[in-house]
Structure 1
Amino acid sequence: MLDPALQAVSELTATAAQFTESPDFYPFLRYRSSTLHLIAYDCPAREPDGGTRTWATLPRASAVTYGAKHP
């Protein structure tokens, strides 16, 4: 599961860094119910009206299968 998670985190981080107008962005990772949730949002996302949020969810079974096929 490590390789798919690293790929997803890298892509979300790169996208947030490239497209946010804010100098700061925040990655958030949570593993619950056999699923890794990845969220990247820029600083204004915590405000009621603004910000950009991108996300990915990696179910463990799918991520392990992907990792085994794409070493």
Structure 2
Amino acid sequence: MPTAMSVRPHPLDIRTPRVPENLAYSLILPAALASPAVARSAARTILEAHGLHDVTDAATQVIGELAACACLFTPSDSVYLSLRYRDDALRICLYDGHPRHTHRRLAAACDGRRRSLLLLLACVMHACDGEWGFGESSEPGDGTRLWAVLPREGARAYGCAA
């Protein structure tokens, strides 16, 4: 007697279409000169795999700027990159091992130096109507968390303007 059999693709099967809402990736990168380029390349592949090719230009610029800053500041040998897509926006976080200074003037000087390194990032985020910042992090480990929230509509417009 023949039996009926149904075959469904595994949820992680590469033939299964990926949608932006599934985007959740974390990478550990060495604190090296090449890491911003590696982060941009990985992000480009990830975004296109999830159908977000319209935000790639803005996102790779933002990721490269954050990664460069994190690699310059971290005293450790690596930085941690997190990419998530929620509420129609790409959420980018980079964690470095640079702890916040306890002395007020040192903290202000360090923050000023970070801001000056992130001027291009500030311009891109302004053009995309996004938000960004940095501050103390309690995860993963101590250090500084640099973050950006890139709205899809603003990133799409940024890509069209470029």
TM-score range, shorter chain: 0.7 to 0.9
**Matching of residue 62 in structure 1 with residue 116 in structure 2:** no
Corresponding residue of 1:16: 70
Tell me how large the CA RMSD over aligned residues is: 1.5
Q: Does the CA-based 8 Å contact 2:90-2:150 persist in structure 1?
A: yes
Q: Does the CA-based 8 Å contact 2:73-2:96 persist in structure 1?
A: no
Greater strand content: 1
The alignment-based identity, stated in percent, is: 43
Question: Within 5 Å, which residues of 2 pair with 1:1-71?
Answer: 1-43=55-97, 45-47=139-141, 50-70=142-162
In 1, Cα distance between the equivalents of 2:72 and 2:96?
11
Please state whether the residue corresponding to 1:22 is helix, strand or coil: coil
Amino acid paired to 1:15: C
Q: Looking at both structures, which has the greater relative contact order when contacts are Cα pairs under 8 Å and sequence separation is at least 6?
A: 1
In 1, Cα distance between the equivalents of 2:72 and 2:155?
26
Corresponding residue of 2:113: none
Could you tell me which runs of 5 or more consecutive residues in structure 1 were left unpaired when the two chains were aligned.
Answer: none
Q: Give the alignment's TM-score, normalised by structure 2.
A: 0.40
User: Displacement, 1:46?
Assistant: 2.3
In 1, Cα distance between the equivalents of 2:140 and 2:150?
24
Higher Cα radius of gyration: 2
